[in-house]
Amino acid sequence: MSRLIILQQVDYIGPGRIVPVLRDYGIPLEIRHLYKGDEVPTDLDEVRAIVVLDAPTSIKDLNQSDKPYLAKELETVTRMVTHNRKVLGIGFGAQLLAHAAGAKVHPNAKPGAKPEDPVTPIPEFGWGPVNFPFPGGTEPIVTGLMDGAPMFHCHVDTFDLPKLPPPANPAPPPAPPPPTGNALLSSSKLCKNQAFRFKTRLFGFQYHFEFTREDIEKVLDAEKDLFEKALGFAAVDQVKRETEQNYVRYERLGNKIIKNWVQFLHLY
């Protein structure tokens, strides 16, 4: 029997509320702790879907000797993309999915005033609202969500949207351009490309919709320096205070995304 495989990259970023929601649907699942030496799945016939979790890693780290699983992970995700198999990427997992689909992953930054001017990095950490622009914001996986939904952010990179390869003989104008195969599902003020669909079964979310309260505490503890660099010396207290303000709504909306994904792709 096929299983849904969750790929966990570090000890302090787990699947959060994804697991209880999937178990409510009776979906068989397995969490593989890659940082402990668990194997990346290679037999796609045994994989119902893959969830690739976040990590304090960037695409440029793919060939690091201390993380040999990253190259294998990329290989499997690339095969999933080629065959339009079900993948959900979150944080670095979304960046890995975009990279596997041929899109560029790069620092989230504001261009300079002139082309030759350096860019200004825009890290995104802590709580922030996201929007769901038309038409992608009307897709089934984000049904029931609305502009201003509070989501949890912790990233310095972002991704371009993956695209289908152009046809060998495209129709000349005034024919419409060939399909891209993608949809922009979500954006924020600081980062345009927050969530995407590619083909029909591949989804990436830059922000976290799946965290439990305990998950947020663990991330704050492990990545305190990054949060303080982005938000100031009082970052941890600020995020904890905003967690109390946002979490109930966040949990409800995040669970909606998970359930939409399960139901849209008939994972049960």
CA distance 134 to 136: 5
Read off the pLDDT of each residue in 236-258 and give the average, rounded to a whole number. 98
Band the pLDDT of 167: cuts 50, 70, 90. Answer: confident
What is the domain class of 3-264 according to CATH? alpha beta
Candidates 108, 211, 197, 93; CA nearest to 152 is 211
Band the pLDDT of 63: cuts 50, 70, 90. Answer: confident
Q: What is the pLDDT of residue 236?
A: 97
CA distance 86 to 51: 9
Band the pLDDT of 262: cuts 50, 70, 90. Answer: very high
Element housing 128 (H / E):
strand 124-130
CA distance 210 to 93: 13
Would you list the domain boundaries of the chain? 3-264
How much of the chain, in percent, has pLDDT values that exceed 70? 100
Tokens of 96: 């890995």
Band the pLDDT of 172: cuts 50, 70, 90. Answer: confident
Q: What is the pLDDT of residue 220?
A: 98
Look up the pTM and report it.
0.96
Q: Give the range among 41-45, 113-117, 223-227, 259-263 with minimum mean pLDDT.
A: 113-117
Q: What is the pLDDT of residue 184?
A: 98
Q: What is the pLDDT of residue 164?
A: 96
* pLDDT surpassing 80 at residue 251: yes
Angle made by CA atoms 124, 52, 256, in degrees to the nearest 5: 75
Read off the pLDDT of each residue in 218-233 and give the average, rounded to a whole number. 97
* pLDDT surpassing 80 at residue 65: no
Residues in the chain: 268
Cβ contacts of residue 182 below 8 Å, gap of 6+? 161, 162, 163, 164, 196, 197, 198
Q: What is the pLDDT of residue 246?
A: 98
How much of the chain, in percent, has pLDDT values that exceed 90? 87
Contact 12, 218 (CB under 8 A): yes
Band the pLDDT of 64: cuts 50, 70, 90. Answer: confident
Sign of CA dihedral 193, 8, 149, 135: positive
Q: What is the pLDDT of residue 83?
A: 97
* pLDDT surpassing 80 at residue 35: yes
Q: What is the pLDDT of residues 173-225, one digit of tens each?
A: 888 888 999 999 999 999 999 999 999 999 999 999 999 999 999 999 999 99
3-state secondary structure 69-115: HHHHHHHHHHHHHHCCCCEEEECHHHHHHHHHCCCCEEECEECCCCC
